[in-house]
Amino acid sequence: MTAHKASLINAITLIIMGIWGLININPEIFSGIIENKSPFIPITLGVLIALCNNGIKTSNKLIAHIAVLLTIISFANLMPLFKAISNGRVDAAVRVFLMVLSSLFAMIYFVRSFIENRKKSNS
């Protein structure tokens, strides 16, 4: 798997889990009432990471580093994970765990890609 595919999987996971959280936390969302806007954070990060995907695919270093920064920020969801677990909210814990796991997955492929590119440039 390549870094851009792993990043795209991460972006899609963030968007889907964010939408699930938005609907779950705001049951009256379809009436136009949004009380808790925090699920917009992973949705926004997912959209931004998806927008960086073509730059990652073409090995644009600046865009790849921006995508890595956004992925690190999305990985920082550990605190909401611990809070969801301590409050007994299993559905929230599953959502956040999947987001953290997909971000870790993408980070692993970014690091592998950076190492491979470094080896190629030194050869």
Q: Amino acid letter at 32?
A: G
The 10 Å CB-count burial string (b at 16+, else e) for 57-86 is beeeeebbebbbebbeebbebeebbeebee
Domain with 111 in it? 3-25+37-122
Band of residue 87 on the pLDDT scale cut at 50, 70, 90: confident
The answer as to whether 32 is a domain residue is no
Q: Does residue 31 sit within a domain? A: no
pLDDT of residue 16: 95
The answer to whether residues 85 and 97 touch, using CB atoms and an 8 Å cutoff, is: no
Q: Does residue 77 have a pLDDT over 80? A: no
At 123 the pLDDT is: 67
109 located within any domain:
yes
Give the per-residue pLDDT at 46. Answer: 95
Residue 39's pLDDT band, with cuts at 50, 70 and 90, is confident
Answer yes or no: is 95 within a domain.
Answer: yes
Residue 74 scores a pLDDT above 90: no
Q: Give the pLDDT of residue 67.
A: 94
Cα separation, 87 vs 96, in Å, equals 14
Q: Does residue 47 fall inside a structural domain?
A: yes
Residue 68 within any structural domain of the chain: yes
**Structural domains in the chain (count):** 1
9 lies in a domain? yes
Banded model confidence at residue 33, pLDDT cuts 50, 70, 90: confident
Check residues 85 and 103 and name the one with the higher pLDDT. 103
Percentage above 70 pLDDT, the chain: 99
- Residue 30 domain-assigned? no
